[in-house]
Chain A
Protein backbone atom coordinates (compact mmCIF):
# COMPACT_ATOMS: atom_id res chain seq x y z
CA UNK A 1 0.00 0.00 0.00
CA UNK A 2 2.81 2.35 0.88
CA UNK A 3 4.35 1.89 -2.55
CA UNK A 4 0.95 2.63 -4.03
CA UNK A 5 0.60 5.91 -2.17
CA UNK A 6 4.15 6.96 -3.07
CA UNK A 7 3.39 6.23 -6.70
CA UNK A 8 0.18 8.24 -6.60
CA UNK A 9 1.89 11.19 -4.97
CA UNK A 10 4.60 11.17 -7.63
CA UNK A 11 2.06 11.11 -10.42
CA UNK A 12 0.06 13.95 -8.88
CA UNK A 13 3.21 16.00 -8.40
CA UNK A 14 4.35 15.51 -11.98
CA UNK A 15 0.96 16.44 -13.39
CA UNK A 16 0.75 19.44 -11.13
CA UNK A 17 4.15 20.71 -12.13
CA UNK A 18 3.56 20.15 -15.82
CA UNK A 19 0.35 22.06 -15.77
CA UNK A 20 1.38 24.86 -13.52
CA UNK A 21 -1.88 24.48 -11.65
CA UNK A 22 -0.36 22.51 -8.82
CA UNK A 23 -2.37 20.76 -6.22
CA UNK A 24 -5.87 21.97 -7.02
CA UNK A 25 -6.13 19.39 -9.81
CA UNK A 26 -5.09 16.69 -7.44
CA UNK A 27 -7.70 17.88 -4.97
CA UNK A 28 -10.59 17.81 -7.45
CA UNK A 29 -9.59 14.44 -8.85
CA UNK A 30 -9.35 12.99 -5.35
CA UNK A 31 -12.80 14.25 -4.43
CA UNK A 32 -14.44 12.82 -7.56
CA UNK A 33 -12.74 9.48 -7.16
CA UNK A 34 -13.49 9.50 -3.45
CA UNK A 35 -17.22 9.95 -3.95
CA UNK A 36 -17.38 7.16 -6.50
CA UNK A 37 -15.62 4.66 -4.32
CA UNK A 38 -16.91 5.67 -0.91
CA UNK A 39 -20.47 5.05 -2.01
CA UNK A 40 -19.69 1.55 -3.11
CA UNK A 41 -17.65 0.91 0.04
CA UNK A 42 -20.33 2.14 2.39
CA UNK A 43 -23.07 0.11 0.82
CA UNK A 44 -20.84 -2.77 -0.20
CA UNK A 45 -22.93 -5.33 1.63
CA UNK A 46 -26.26 -4.54 -0.02
CA UNK A 47 -24.64 -3.80 -3.38
CA UNK A 48 -22.85 -7.12 -3.61
CA UNK A 49 -25.86 -9.08 -2.43
CA UNK A 50 -28.00 -7.37 -5.04
CA UNK A 51 -25.62 -7.92 -7.94
CA UNK A 52 -24.83 -11.55 -7.20
CA UNK A 53 -28.33 -12.58 -6.17
CA UNK A 54 -27.26 -14.08 -2.85
CA UNK A 55 -29.96 -14.29 -0.21
CA UNK A 56 -29.68 -14.05 3.55
CA UNK A 57 -30.64 -17.30 5.28
CA UNK A 58 -32.03 -18.12 8.71
CA UNK A 59 -30.59 -20.52 11.25
CA UNK A 60 -33.34 -23.07 10.63
CA UNK A 61 -32.64 -23.25 6.88
CA UNK A 62 -28.92 -24.00 7.14
CA UNK A 63 -28.24 -24.87 10.81
CA UNK A 64 -24.76 -26.31 10.35
CA UNK A 65 -23.55 -23.34 8.28
CA UNK A 66 -25.07 -20.90 10.76
CA UNK A 67 -23.46 -22.68 13.71
CA UNK A 68 -20.03 -22.71 12.12
CA UNK A 69 -20.18 -18.96 11.42
CA UNK A 70 -21.48 -18.34 14.94
CA UNK A 71 -18.69 -20.36 16.58
CA UNK A 72 -15.95 -18.80 14.47
CA UNK A 73 -17.19 -15.31 15.35
CA UNK A 74 -16.91 -16.22 19.02
CA UNK A 75 -13.38 -17.46 18.38
CA UNK A 76 -12.39 -14.10 16.91
CA UNK A 77 -14.46 -11.98 19.27
CA UNK A 78 -16.39 -10.45 16.36
CA UNK A 79 -20.10 -9.74 16.07
CA UNK A 80 -21.76 -12.34 13.89
CA UNK A 81 -22.04 -11.35 10.21
CA UNK A 82 -25.12 -11.89 8.05
CA UNK A 83 -25.09 -15.38 6.59
CA UNK A 84 -26.13 -15.70 2.95
CA UNK A 85 -26.36 -18.43 0.38
CA UNK A 86 -25.94 -18.09 -3.37
CA UNK A 87 -27.66 -20.74 -5.47
CA UNK A 88 -24.92 -21.73 -7.89
CA UNK A 89 -23.32 -25.13 -8.51
CA UNK A 90 -19.81 -23.68 -8.65
CA UNK A 91 -18.10 -23.96 -5.24
CA UNK A 92 -17.09 -20.53 -3.99
CA UNK A 93 -17.58 -18.06 -1.16
CA UNK A 94 -17.21 -14.36 -0.51
CA UNK A 95 -17.33 -11.84 2.30
CA UNK A 96 -17.93 -8.12 2.33
CA UNK A 97 -19.03 -5.31 4.60
CA UNK A 98 -17.48 -2.02 5.65
CA UNK A 99 -16.65 -3.20 9.17
CA UNK A 100 -17.27 -6.25 11.39
CA UNK A 101 -20.59 -4.80 12.57
CA UNK A 102 -21.92 -4.83 9.01
CA UNK A 103 -20.28 -7.98 7.80
CA UNK A 104 -21.74 -10.37 5.25
CA UNK A 105 -20.53 -13.88 4.53
CA UNK A 106 -21.85 -15.89 1.61
CA UNK A 107 -21.33 -19.42 0.29
CA UNK A 108 -22.63 -21.08 -2.86
CA UNK A 109 -24.80 -24.16 -2.74
CA UNK A 110 -22.07 -25.84 -4.78
CA UNK A 111 -19.65 -25.29 -1.91
CA UNK A 112 -22.07 -26.66 0.70
CA UNK A 113 -22.55 -29.78 -1.39
CA UNK A 114 -18.88 -30.58 -1.74
CA UNK A 115 -17.09 -29.72 1.47
CA UNK A 116 -17.02 -31.53 4.79
CA UNK A 117 -17.23 -29.73 8.10
CA UNK A 118 -13.57 -28.92 8.68
CA UNK A 119 -13.12 -27.72 5.09
CA UNK A 120 -16.20 -25.50 5.42
CA UNK A 121 -14.77 -24.13 8.67
CA UNK A 122 -11.51 -23.32 6.90
CA UNK A 123 -13.29 -21.41 4.13
CA UNK A 124 -15.55 -19.52 6.51
CA UNK A 125 -12.60 -18.63 8.75
CA UNK A 126 -10.87 -17.18 5.67
CA UNK A 127 -13.94 -15.11 4.81
CA UNK A 128 -14.37 -13.90 8.40
CA UNK A 129 -10.72 -12.85 8.38
CA UNK A 130 -11.40 -10.62 5.37
CA UNK A 131 -14.01 -8.83 7.46
CA UNK A 132 -11.77 -8.74 10.53
CA UNK A 133 -8.82 -7.28 8.58
CA UNK A 134 -11.04 -4.59 7.07
CA UNK A 135 -10.11 -5.78 3.60
CA UNK A 136 -13.15 -4.10 2.06
CA UNK A 137 -11.83 -0.80 3.36
CA UNK A 138 -8.32 -1.51 2.08
CA UNK A 139 -9.60 -2.38 -1.39
CA UNK A 140 -11.90 0.67 -1.37
CA UNK A 141 -8.94 2.93 -0.62
CA UNK A 142 -7.01 1.23 -3.39
CA UNK A 143 -9.93 1.72 -5.77
CA UNK A 144 -10.11 5.41 -4.81
CA UNK A 145 -6.43 5.81 -5.57
CA UNK A 146 -6.71 4.07 -8.93
CA UNK A 147 -9.69 6.21 -9.89
CA UNK A 148 -7.78 9.26 -8.73
CA UNK A 149 -4.88 8.46 -11.01
CA UNK A 150 -7.14 7.71 -13.95
CA UNK A 151 -9.00 10.99 -13.56
CA UNK A 152 -5.79 12.95 -13.15
CA UNK A 153 -4.37 11.42 -16.30
CA UNK A 154 -7.58 12.21 -18.12
CA UNK A 155 -7.71 15.84 -16.97
CA UNK A 156 -4.07 16.28 -17.85
CA UNK A 157 -4.43 14.96 -21.36
CA UNK A 158 -7.47 17.13 -21.99
CA UNK A 159 -5.75 20.20 -20.63
CA UNK A 160 -3.03 19.84 -23.25
CA UNK A 161 -5.56 20.93 -25.91
CA UNK A 162 -6.34 24.16 -24.17
CA UNK A 163 -2.91 25.57 -23.63
CA UNK A 164 -2.56 29.12 -24.95
CA UNK A 165 0.72 30.30 -26.39
CA UNK A 166 1.45 32.72 -23.53
CA UNK A 167 1.36 29.83 -21.08
CA UNK A 168 4.86 29.12 -22.13
CA UNK A 169 6.92 29.18 -18.95
CA UNK A 170 10.17 27.97 -20.33
CA UNK A 171 11.91 24.69 -20.82
CA UNK A 172 11.51 23.33 -17.32
CA UNK A 173 7.78 23.27 -17.93
CA UNK A 174 8.32 21.45 -21.21
CA UNK A 175 10.19 18.52 -19.73
CA UNK A 176 7.43 17.98 -17.21
CA UNK A 177 4.90 17.93 -20.02
CA UNK A 178 6.74 15.11 -21.73
CA UNK A 179 7.07 13.13 -18.51
CA UNK A 180 3.44 13.96 -17.83
CA UNK A 181 2.28 12.46 -21.13
CA UNK A 182 4.21 9.27 -20.50
CA UNK A 183 2.76 9.05 -17.01
CA UNK A 184 -0.72 9.78 -18.28
CA UNK A 185 -0.55 6.77 -20.52
CA UNK A 186 1.03 4.21 -18.24
CA UNK A 187 0.04 5.33 -14.77
CA UNK A 188 -3.52 4.01 -14.84
CA UNK A 189 -2.12 0.62 -15.84
CA UNK A 190 0.52 0.67 -13.11
CA UNK A 191 -2.07 1.79 -10.58
CA UNK A 192 -4.30 -1.13 -11.52
CA UNK A 193 -1.37 -3.55 -11.25
CA UNK A 194 -0.58 -2.23 -7.80
CA UNK A 195 -4.21 -2.58 -6.79
CA UNK A 196 -4.20 -6.22 -7.93
CA UNK A 197 -0.97 -6.84 -6.02
CA UNK A 198 -2.64 -5.49 -2.88
CA UNK A 199 -5.60 -7.78 -3.53
CA UNK A 200 -3.32 -10.82 -3.76
CA UNK A 201 -1.47 -9.92 -0.59
CA UNK A 202 -4.74 -9.57 1.32
CA UNK A 203 -5.81 -13.01 0.08
CA UNK A 204 -2.66 -14.53 1.58
CA UNK A 205 -3.30 -12.61 4.78
CA UNK A 206 -6.87 -13.92 4.97
CA UNK A 207 -5.57 -17.47 4.40
CA UNK A 208 -3.14 -17.06 7.29
CA UNK A 209 -5.61 -15.35 9.64
CA UNK A 210 -8.20 -18.01 8.90
CA UNK A 211 -5.74 -20.79 9.64
CA UNK A 212 -4.81 -19.07 12.90
CA UNK A 213 -8.47 -18.94 13.88
CA UNK A 214 -9.23 -22.60 13.22
CA UNK A 215 -5.75 -23.83 14.25
CA UNK A 216 -6.21 -26.29 11.38
CA UNK A 217 -4.73 -25.04 8.08
CA UNK A 218 -5.26 -28.40 6.36
CA UNK A 219 -9.02 -27.76 6.41
CA UNK A 220 -8.70 -24.73 4.16
CA UNK A 221 -5.99 -26.42 2.09
CA UNK A 222 -8.17 -29.39 1.12
CA UNK A 223 -11.14 -27.04 0.56
CA UNK A 224 -9.05 -25.01 -1.89
CA UNK A 225 -8.02 -28.21 -3.65
CA UNK A 226 -11.67 -29.19 -4.09
CA UNK A 227 -12.60 -25.70 -5.29
CA UNK A 228 -9.75 -25.62 -7.79
CA UNK A 229 -10.83 -28.98 -9.19
CA UNK A 230 -14.22 -27.64 -10.31
CA UNK A 231 -13.99 -25.84 -13.65
CA UNK A 232 -17.39 -24.12 -13.69
CA UNK A 233 -17.52 -20.31 -13.31
CA UNK A 234 -19.93 -18.54 -10.97
CA UNK A 235 -22.83 -17.29 -13.07
CA UNK A 236 -23.52 -13.96 -11.42
CA UNK A 237 -19.95 -12.85 -10.75
CA UNK A 238 -18.65 -9.79 -12.57
CA UNK A 239 -15.30 -8.09 -12.91
CA UNK A 240 -16.20 -5.73 -10.11
CA UNK A 241 -17.00 -8.49 -7.63
CA UNK A 242 -14.41 -11.05 -8.74
CA UNK A 243 -11.85 -10.05 -6.14
CA UNK A 244 -14.25 -10.69 -3.26
CA UNK A 245 -14.53 -14.42 -3.88
CA UNK A 246 -12.21 -16.94 -2.26
CA UNK A 247 -11.18 -18.29 -5.65
CA UNK A 248 -11.27 -16.62 -9.02
CA UNK A 249 -14.92 -16.98 -10.06
CA UNK A 250 -14.00 -16.90 -13.74
CA UNK A 251 -12.55 -20.36 -13.64
CA UNK A 252 -9.66 -21.25 -15.87
CA UNK A 253 -8.76 -17.64 -16.56
CA UNK A 254 -5.88 -17.48 -14.10
CA UNK A 255 -2.91 -16.56 -16.26
CA UNK A 256 0.28 -18.50 -15.63
CA UNK A 257 2.92 -16.52 -17.55
CA UNK A 258 4.75 -13.98 -15.40
CA UNK A 259 3.51 -10.81 -17.03
CA UNK A 260 -0.14 -11.72 -17.34
CA UNK A 261 -0.14 -13.23 -13.84
CA UNK A 262 0.32 -9.68 -12.56
CA UNK A 263 -3.29 -9.14 -13.56
CA UNK A 264 -4.69 -11.89 -11.33
CA UNK A 265 -6.89 -10.87 -8.44
CA UNK A 266 -6.01 -14.01 -6.50
CA UNK A 267 -2.67 -15.68 -5.93
CA UNK A 268 -2.24 -19.02 -7.71
CA UNK A 269 -4.04 -21.87 -5.96
CA UNK A 270 -1.00 -24.17 -5.86
CA UNK A 271 0.96 -21.58 -3.95
CA UNK A 272 -1.84 -20.98 -1.46
CA UNK A 273 -2.25 -24.71 -0.84
CA UNK A 274 1.50 -25.20 -0.51
CA UNK A 275 1.80 -22.42 2.06
CA UNK A 276 -1.14 -23.77 4.06
CA UNK A 277 0.13 -27.35 4.10
CA UNK A 278 3.52 -26.12 5.30
CA UNK A 279 2.07 -24.34 8.35
Chain B
Protein backbone atom coordinates (compact mmCIF):
# COMPACT_ATOMS: atom_id res chain seq x y z
CA UNK B 1 0.00 0.00 0.00
CA UNK B 2 1.24 3.47 -0.80
CA UNK B 3 1.94 6.05 1.87
CA UNK B 4 -1.00 8.39 1.14
CA UNK B 5 -3.41 5.46 1.47
CA UNK B 6 -1.93 4.49 4.81
CA UNK B 7 -2.17 8.06 6.06
CA UNK B 8 -5.79 8.26 4.92
CA UNK B 9 -6.64 5.05 6.74
CA UNK B 10 -4.95 6.24 9.94
CA UNK B 11 -6.84 9.53 9.78
CA UNK B 12 -10.09 7.71 9.20
CA UNK B 13 -9.47 5.47 12.21
CA UNK B 14 -8.72 8.52 14.35
CA UNK B 15 -11.94 10.22 13.25
CA UNK B 16 -13.97 7.08 13.91
CA UNK B 17 -12.57 6.77 17.43
CA UNK B 18 -13.21 10.44 18.08
CA UNK B 19 -16.84 10.27 16.99
CA UNK B 20 -17.30 7.10 19.04
CA UNK B 21 -15.85 8.79 22.09
CA UNK B 22 -18.00 11.87 21.62
CA UNK B 23 -21.17 9.82 21.24
CA UNK B 24 -20.40 7.93 24.44
CA UNK B 25 -19.66 11.15 26.27
CA UNK B 26 -23.05 12.57 25.30
CA UNK B 27 -24.89 9.34 26.08
CA UNK B 28 -23.20 9.09 29.49
CA UNK B 29 -24.04 12.73 30.10
CA UNK B 30 -27.71 12.00 29.54
CA UNK B 31 -27.68 9.10 31.98
CA UNK B 32 -25.93 11.24 34.59
CA UNK B 33 -28.53 13.96 34.16
CA UNK B 34 -31.32 11.42 34.70
CA UNK B 35 -29.61 10.17 37.83
CA UNK B 36 -29.15 13.69 39.15
CA UNK B 37 -32.82 14.41 38.47
CA UNK B 38 -33.86 11.38 40.50
CA UNK B 39 -31.55 12.65 43.20
CA UNK B 40 -33.54 15.87 43.38
CA UNK B 41 -36.72 13.81 43.49
CA UNK B 42 -35.43 11.87 46.48
CA UNK B 43 -34.91 15.07 48.43
CA UNK B 44 -38.21 16.59 47.30
CA UNK B 45 -39.95 13.46 48.49
CA UNK B 46 -38.29 13.82 51.89
CA UNK B 47 -39.79 17.26 52.17
CA UNK B 48 -43.26 16.29 51.02
CA UNK B 49 -43.17 13.42 53.51
CA UNK B 50 -42.39 15.78 56.38
CA UNK B 51 -45.20 18.19 55.55
CA UNK B 52 -48.26 16.26 56.83
CA UNK B 53 -46.58 15.89 60.24
CA UNK B 54 -45.80 19.58 60.28
CA UNK B 55 -49.33 20.62 59.35
CA UNK B 56 -50.80 18.33 62.03
CA UNK B 57 -48.55 19.64 64.76
CA UNK B 58 -49.33 23.27 63.88
CA UNK B 59 -53.05 22.51 63.63
CA UNK B 60 -52.87 21.25 67.20
CA UNK B 61 -52.19 24.82 68.34
CA UNK B 62 -53.64 27.03 65.60
CA UNK B 63 -56.78 25.37 64.26
CA UNK B 64 -58.26 28.49 62.76
CA UNK B 65 -55.43 29.36 60.38
CA UNK B 66 -57.25 27.43 57.67
CA UNK B 67 -55.94 29.43 54.68
CA UNK B 68 -52.35 28.69 55.46
CA UNK B 69 -52.96 24.95 55.76
CA UNK B 70 -54.87 24.93 52.50
CA UNK B 71 -52.06 26.75 50.70
CA UNK B 72 -49.47 24.34 52.02
CA UNK B 73 -51.52 21.28 51.10
CA UNK B 74 -52.27 22.63 47.63
CA UNK B 75 -48.62 23.43 46.97
CA UNK B 76 -47.64 19.97 48.17
CA UNK B 77 -50.06 18.25 45.78
CA UNK B 78 -48.85 20.43 42.93
CA UNK B 79 -45.28 19.37 43.64
CA UNK B 80 -46.25 15.70 43.75
CA UNK B 81 -47.88 16.06 40.33
CA UNK B 82 -45.05 18.02 38.71
CA UNK B 83 -43.08 16.37 35.95
CA UNK B 84 -40.47 18.35 34.04
CA UNK B 85 -37.56 20.13 35.72
CA UNK B 86 -39.25 23.46 35.08
CA UNK B 87 -42.56 22.38 36.65
CA UNK B 88 -40.80 20.90 39.63
CA UNK B 89 -38.77 24.04 40.18
CA UNK B 90 -41.88 26.19 40.07
CA UNK B 91 -43.96 24.06 42.43
CA UNK B 92 -40.94 23.68 44.70
CA UNK B 93 -40.77 27.45 45.00
CA UNK B 94 -44.51 27.67 45.62
CA UNK B 95 -44.22 25.17 48.45
CA UNK B 96 -41.29 27.06 49.94
CA UNK B 97 -43.38 30.23 49.90
CA UNK B 98 -46.35 28.51 51.56
CA UNK B 99 -44.07 27.05 54.22
CA UNK B 100 -42.62 30.49 54.90
CA UNK B 101 -46.10 31.79 55.67
CA UNK B 102 -46.75 28.78 57.88
CA UNK B 103 -43.62 29.40 59.92
CA UNK B 104 -44.34 33.12 60.10
CA UNK B 105 -47.78 32.37 61.53
CA UNK B 106 -46.35 29.93 64.06
CA UNK B 107 -44.41 32.86 65.55
CA UNK B 108 -47.68 33.99 67.11
CA UNK B 109 -48.07 30.80 69.10
CA UNK B 110 -45.31 30.54 71.73
CA UNK B 111 -46.47 27.14 72.94
CA UNK B 112 -46.17 25.80 69.42
CA UNK B 113 -42.72 27.25 69.01
CA UNK B 114 -41.60 25.63 72.25
CA UNK B 115 -42.86 22.14 71.41
CA UNK B 116 -40.05 19.64 70.79
CA UNK B 117 -41.92 18.04 67.93
CA UNK B 118 -42.25 21.32 66.10
CA UNK B 119 -38.62 22.27 66.65
CA UNK B 120 -37.42 18.94 65.32
CA UNK B 121 -39.65 19.21 62.25
CA UNK B 122 -38.38 22.72 61.60
CA UNK B 123 -34.81 21.45 61.87
CA UNK B 124 -35.39 18.59 59.50
CA UNK B 125 -37.21 20.77 57.01
CA UNK B 126 -34.38 23.28 56.94
CA UNK B 127 -31.86 20.46 56.45
CA UNK B 128 -34.01 19.11 53.61
CA UNK B 129 -34.00 22.54 51.98
CA UNK B 130 -30.18 22.45 52.02
CA UNK B 131 -30.19 18.95 50.55
CA UNK B 132 -32.58 20.02 47.80
CA UNK B 133 -30.31 22.95 47.02
CA UNK B 134 -27.26 20.70 46.73
CA UNK B 135 -29.16 18.14 44.64
CA UNK B 136 -30.23 20.94 42.29
CA UNK B 137 -26.65 22.16 42.09
CA UNK B 138 -25.42 18.69 41.15
CA UNK B 139 -28.17 18.37 38.53
CA UNK B 140 -27.37 21.76 37.05
CA UNK B 141 -23.66 20.96 36.98
CA UNK B 142 -24.34 17.84 34.92
CA UNK B 143 -26.71 19.71 32.60
CA UNK B 144 -24.10 22.43 32.18
CA UNK B 145 -21.36 19.98 31.19
CA UNK B 146 -23.67 18.15 28.79
CA UNK B 147 -25.01 21.32 27.17
CA UNK B 148 -21.50 22.73 26.84
CA UNK B 149 -20.41 19.68 24.84
CA UNK B 150 -23.46 20.12 22.61
CA UNK B 151 -22.88 23.81 22.08
CA UNK B 152 -19.20 23.58 21.23
CA UNK B 153 -17.80 22.39 17.91
CA UNK B 154 -17.84 19.61 16.73
CA UNK B 155 -20.27 18.45 19.40
CA UNK B 156 -22.99 20.62 17.92
CA UNK B 157 -22.74 19.01 14.50
CA UNK B 158 -22.45 15.44 15.73
CA UNK B 159 -25.04 15.97 18.45
CA UNK B 160 -27.59 17.02 15.88
CA UNK B 161 -26.76 14.00 13.74
CA UNK B 162 -27.37 11.63 16.64
CA UNK B 163 -30.41 13.43 17.97
CA UNK B 164 -29.01 14.79 21.25
CA UNK B 165 -30.83 17.87 22.47
CA UNK B 166 -29.98 20.38 25.15
CA UNK B 167 -31.47 19.71 28.57
CA UNK B 168 -33.13 22.36 30.71
CA UNK B 169 -31.70 23.69 33.94
CA UNK B 170 -33.59 23.37 37.18
CA UNK B 171 -34.55 27.02 37.62
CA UNK B 172 -37.50 29.19 38.42
CA UNK B 173 -39.27 31.70 36.21
CA UNK B 174 -38.68 35.41 36.48
CA UNK B 175 -41.72 36.09 38.72
CA UNK B 176 -40.54 33.68 41.36
CA UNK B 177 -37.24 35.49 41.58
CA UNK B 178 -38.92 38.49 43.19
CA UNK B 179 -39.04 38.38 46.99
CA UNK B 180 -41.89 36.36 48.41
CA UNK B 181 -44.20 38.62 50.41
CA UNK B 182 -45.22 37.23 53.76
CA UNK B 183 -48.71 38.46 54.65
CA UNK B 184 -50.19 38.16 58.10
- Which A residues have a C-beta under 8 Å from some C-beta of B? 67, 70-72, 74-77, 215
- Asked if B137 lies at the interface with its beta carbon under 8 angstroms from chain A, I say yes
Q: B19-54: contact bitstring with A at CB < 8 Å (1 yes, 0 no)?
A: 000000000000010011001000100000000000
26 contacts between A and B (CB under 8 A): A67-B127, A67-B130, A70-B131, A71-B127, A71-B130, A71-B131, A71-B134, A72-B134, A74-B39, A74-B43, A74-B131, A74-B134, A74-B135, A74-B138, A75-B134, A75-B135, A75-B137, A75-B138, A76-B138, A77-B32, A77-B35, A77-B36, A77-B39, A77-B138, A77-B142, A215-B137
A67: chain B residues within 8 A (beta carbon): 127, 130
Nearest Cβ on chain B to A30's Cβ, whole angstroms: 29
Q: B101-131: contact bitstring with A at CB < 8 Å (1 yes, 0 no)?
A: 0000000000000000000000000010011
Q: Of A70, A74, A77, which is in contact with the most chain B CB atoms at under 10 Å from its CB?
A: A74
Bound Cα distance from A106 to B138, whole angstroms: 24
B32: chain A residues within 8 A (beta carbon): 77
Bound Cα distance from A75 to B139, whole angstroms: 9
Once A and B bind, how many residue pairs between them come within 8 Å at the CB atom? 26
Nearest Cβ on chain B to A13's Cβ, whole angstroms: 28
Say what secondary structure dominates the interface of chain A: helix
Across the two chains, which residue of chain A brings its CB closest to B127?
A67
B127: chain A residues within 8 A (beta carbon): 67, 71
Bound Cα distance from A75 to B141, whole angstroms: 9
Across the two chains, which residue of chain A brings its CB closest to B35?
A77
A215: chain B residues within 8 A (beta carbon): 137
Across the two chains, which residue of chain B brings its CB closest to A212?
B141
Q: Of B35, B137, B142, which is in contact with the most chain A CB atoms at under 10 Å from its CB?
A: B137
B131: chain A residues within 8 A (beta carbon): 70-71, 74
A71: chain B residues within 8 A (beta carbon): 127, 130-131, 134
Across the two chains, which residue of chain A brings its CB closest to B139?
A77
Q: Of B32, B43, B138, which is in contact with the most chain A CB atoms at under 10 Å from its CB?
A: B138
- Top 3 closest pairs, chain A to chain B, by CB: A75-B134, A74-B134, A77-B138
Nearest Cβ on chain B to A132's Cβ, whole angstroms: 12
Across the two chains, which residue of chain B brings its CB closest to A68?
B130
Given contact pairs A72-B134, A77-B36, A77-B138, enumerate 7 new A-B contacts (beta carbons under 8 Å): A71-B130, A71-B131, A74-B43, A74-B138, A75-B138, A77-B32, A77-B142
B43: chain A residues within 8 A (beta carbon): 74
Bound Cα distance from A76 to B137, whole angstroms: 9
Bound Cα distance from A215 to B131, whole angstroms: 15
Across the two chains, which residue of chain A brings its CB closest to B134?
A75
B134: chain A residues within 8 A (beta carbon): 71-72, 74-75
Across the two chains, which residue of chain B brings its CB closest to A70?
B131
Nearest Cβ on chain A to B157's Cβ, whole angstroms: 29
